[in-house]
Amino acid sequence: MNSGVKTISCLHTIQSCTISLGLSIIDHFIWIHYFPKKKVFTDIIRLKQESWCCRWYWRCCHWYVIRTHIAADSHQSTLGLLGLVFVGSPTTTVANARQEVDVDETSVFQHVLMSWMHVFLSLPVQEALSNLEDFDKTCLELALQGVSSIVQQEWGSACPCQLVLVTDGALGIGRGTLRHSLATLKQRGEDKKFPLPFPFPCKLYIMCISNAEELQTTDAMENLEQLLTLSGGEGQIFTMEGPLCLKSVQAMFGKLIEQAYMPFHAVLRCGHLTSDVQVFPRPEPVTLDEEVDPVPKHVLTDLEIVGFIEIADIASPPVLSRHLVLPIAVNKADEVGAGTTDEMEEDTSTNQMAGKSPNFCVLLHGSLKVEGMVALVQLGPEWFGMLYSQADSKKKSNLMMSLFEPGPEPLPWLGKVSQLGPISDAPENPYGEDDSKSPFPLQPKSKRSYAQNVTVWIKASGLQTDVQKILRNARKLPEKTQTFYKELNRLRKAALAFGFWELLKGVAELLERECTLLPDSAHPDAAFQLSHAAQQLKLASTGDSQYAGFEHNITPMLTDFSGGGGGSDRM
């Protein structure tokens, strides 16, 4: 407690030197910005350990330390550059985070430093930041830029983040400060745009180690509010209540945790088989059409399995997000920021016990994996998702849940989910007795253009190919009588629809010419068919409703050359 108070008090005595630290929790992104003393990192870690009360995240986080600035001793300029720290990958997530919570802090600290140095050297933003050395201020903008580039580079633009900015509310003066950034917001070119809003979904939480009254005396609050608006409005500004002490800081972070880091607990059901689970990361509410249906949809805490589908049938469906489904022991004190050591120990034993009692998730996972299937799960009214086994390269696998877009028909090839029923209701097993067939995918009511023989003459080559096809078949009459008429009718239809009567006349002339060019050896039927076809095209080109009907087809002329080669080919 004393050390905590000391930490805080030292935060306030040294105001010239600023450091920003980012910490991301799997997909959440936390960024601390506060004032260090000499032992910068140990202080940060202590602060985190003491005030965050949430060791839960300790081992399952991605950490980024972004240091905007060192002022007092600018000789340390190498460290003064924008840097970042990445603490390992979440080798141990939520479920066993608690078991491994008592890690040696110093080793983690070393890991932090090493990773930091490693990433630091490969930082592309390094160059851009060298001008930072000239200023001794709280360069929030550069830090935000750093956040933006790190997240995009590492996580892409679809990964939702939570950014936590910890500050004492003293925003500094001059260029590069938030005040300056906001003032010059509108005078920037494309290349120097303010990093907010980020191109990825982001919630911004601003933690002020300072109380509201204090902030109101300057324009700090105003600026921070503007920052929040700029980021898209998602998030919140927290200020301290009561005296400036560790307890108040803890209380403030407690609120943040409550607000942003509550684990999502649900019950997974398959008939009477159930399991209490944590869905990680927390599924975000989804708004489909802000105009017609502006109420965001939330995932229910009762996840009911509807049935099962083969992986090949569900066929890599598009999903909104993916989540780990971790079975939990039900009496675990998972409520708000569980913290004390006693609880932790209790949990560990509960965990060990829970490991030995059968859990439906494990059974489900095992069978899904073995059978190569997914479970269709209902997330809410007209909202579905799928459960499946997700394996990583190291033979480890997990139960994963993906969310489909809300709606009655998330995947066209499955049709309406409400119309999916048990195979036992079907007159015969749609999968066949030996699993040789499948009722999926569903065929759409109408074929797409590429799945039918459409006629497009936008390019001359399209038209030429179609005409050549007819001529090629014309020369092989009577063997190709059927294909000849098929192609001829296709061309005729398109020409009629496009009002391209000139083409009909032209092709008729071509056919007549072919007729005259027939060799003596040609079958007599060829000449008959050619002149018949030519005549029919000419009739169609007059627009006479008797001959120019769209649904009308030119049929082969009925000839009788018994024993002739084309006999079998005739329609």
Partner 1 sequence: MKMFSVSHKTVFVVDHCPYMTESSRQQIECDMLTKSRAQGVIPLAPVSKSLWTCAVECSMEYCRILFDIYPAKKLVSYIVSDSEFHILNSWRQEDQSVQELMTALAAVGPPNPREDPECCSILHGLVAAVESLCKITEYQHEARTALVDLADRVVNRGRIICLTNAKSDTHVRMLEDCVLETIQEQNKLAAGSDRLMPIQECELVLVHIYPQGDDTLVSDRPKKEISSILSSEVHSVRAGRHLASKLNVLVQQHFDLASTTITNIPMKEEQHANTSANYDVELLHHRDAHMEFIKSGDLHMAGSTSRDSGLKETVTLKWCTPRTNSVELHYCTGAYRISPVEVNSRPSSCLTNFLLNGRSVLLEQPRKSGSKVISHMLSCHGGEIFLHMLNSTRSTLEDPPSISEGCGGRVTDYRITDFGEFMRENRLTPFADISVDAAGRPPVERAKAQLERHTRYWPMIISQTTIFNMQAVVPLANLIVKDSMTEDDVLTCQKTVYNLVDMERKNDPLPISTVGSRGKGPKRDEQYRIMWNELETLVKTHVGMSERHQQVLECISACRSKPPEEEERKKRGRKREDKEDKSEKNGKELEEKVWTQDSDRLKVAVDREKEDQNQSEVIKDSPDSPEPFNKKPRLTTEELQPLEKSKGPVSLLTIWTNRITQANSRKHQEFAGRINSVNNKAELYQHLKDENGRLDTGTCRHLGDGLAAGGCADTGVHLGSNTAVGAYNTSITAPTRNESLAFINIYSDNIKTQNFQFYLLPSLIV
- Residue 454 is a binding residue for partner 1 (CB under 8 A): yes
Is 208 or 361 the residue whose CB approaches partner 1 more closely?
Answer: 361
Sequence-distant (≥ 6) Cβ neighbours of residue 313 within 8 angstroms: 413, 414, 438, 440, 441
**Dist. CA 78–CA 499, nearest whole Å:** 75
Binding span for partner 1 by CB under 8 A among 237-245, 247-255, 258-266, 368-376: 368-376
For partner 1, the binding residue among 72, 315, 333, 571 (CB under 8 A) is 315
Q: Which long-range contacts (CB under 8 A, 24 or more apart) does 540-544 make?
A: 540/492, 540/495, 540/496, 540/501, 540/504, 541/501, 541/502, 541/504, 541/505, 541/508, 542/501, 543/501
- Residue 308 is a binding residue for partner 1 (CB under 8 A): yes
Is 109 or 501 the residue whose CB approaches partner 1 more closely?
Answer: 501
**Dist. CA 529–CA 519, nearest whole Å:** 15
Sequence-distant (≥ 6) Cβ neighbours of residue 355 within 8 angstroms: none
For partner 1, the binding residue among 23, 165, 240, 324 (CB under 8 A) is 324
Is 215 or 279 the residue whose CB approaches partner 1 more closely?
Answer: 279
Is 126 or 418 the residue whose CB approaches partner 1 more closely?
Answer: 418
Binding mask 549-568 for partner 1 (x = CB under 8 A): xxx-----------------
**Dist. CA 452–CA 124, nearest whole Å:** 50
Which residues inside 105-144 make contact with partner 1, applying CB under 8 A? none
For partner 1, the binding residue among 63, 253, 457, 484 (CB under 8 A) is 457
Tell me the site size for partner 1, rule CB under 8 A: 157
What is the identity of the amino acid at 399? L
Closest CA to 123 of 88, 85, 157: 85
Is 27 or 43 the residue whose CB approaches partner 1 more closely?
Answer: 27
Q: Are 390 and 346 in contact (CB under 8 A)?
A: no
Binding span for partner 1 by CB under 8 A among 124-132, 178-186, 258-266, 304-312: 304-312
**Dist. CA 384–CA 291, nearest whole Å:** 22
Is 398 or 482 the residue whose CB approaches partner 1 more closely?
Answer: 398
Which residues inside 204-233 make contact with partner 1, applying CB under 8 A? none
For partner 1, the binding residue among 230, 270, 530, 533 (CB under 8 A) is 270
- Residue 458 is a binding residue for partner 1 (CB under 8 A): yes
Closest CA to 535 of 552, 557, 567, 561: 557
**Dist. CA 294–CA 291, nearest whole Å:** 6
DSSP string for 463-525? HHHHHHHHHHHHTTTTTTHHHHHHHHHHHHHHHHHTT-HHHHHHHHHHHHHHHHH--TTS-HH
What's the closest the beta carbon of residue 159 comes to partner 1, in angstroms?
Answer: 6
**Dist. CA 174–CA 139, nearest whole Å:** 10
Binding mask 15-44 for partner 1 (x = CB under 8 A): -----------xx-----------------
* Cβ burial 177-192 (10 Å sphere, 16+ → b, else e): bbbbbbeeeeeeeeee
What's the closest the beta carbon of residue 217 comes to partner 1, in angstroms?
Answer: 40
3-class SS letters over 401-416: EEECCCCCCCCCCCCC
Binding span for partner 1 by CB under 8 A among 108-116, 177-185, 409-417, 477-485: 409-417
What is the identity of the amino acid at 554? I
- Residue 189 is a binding residue for partner 1 (CB under 8 A): no
What's the closest the beta carbon of residue 310 comes to partner 1, in angstroms?
Answer: 7
**Dist. CA 471–CA 473, nearest whole Å:** 5
151 CB burial (10 A radius; 0-12, 13-18, 19+): buried
What's the closest the beta carbon of residue 130 comes to partner 1, in angstroms?
Answer: 22
Which residues inside 80-109 make contact with partner 1, applying CB under 8 A? 89-93, 95-96
- Residue 342 is a binding residue for partner 1 (CB under 8 A): no
Is 174 or 421 the residue whose CB approaches partner 1 more closely?
Answer: 421
- Residue 436 is a binding residue for partner 1 (CB under 8 A): no
Which residues inside 273-292 make contact with partner 1, applying CB under 8 A? 273, 275, 281, 289-292
For partner 1, the binding residue among 196, 361, 403, 554 (CB under 8 A) is 361
- Residue 469 is a binding residue for partner 1 (CB under 8 A): no
What's the closest the beta carbon of residue 189 comes to partner 1, in angstroms?
Answer: 15
**Dist. CA 134–CA 132, nearest whole Å:** 5
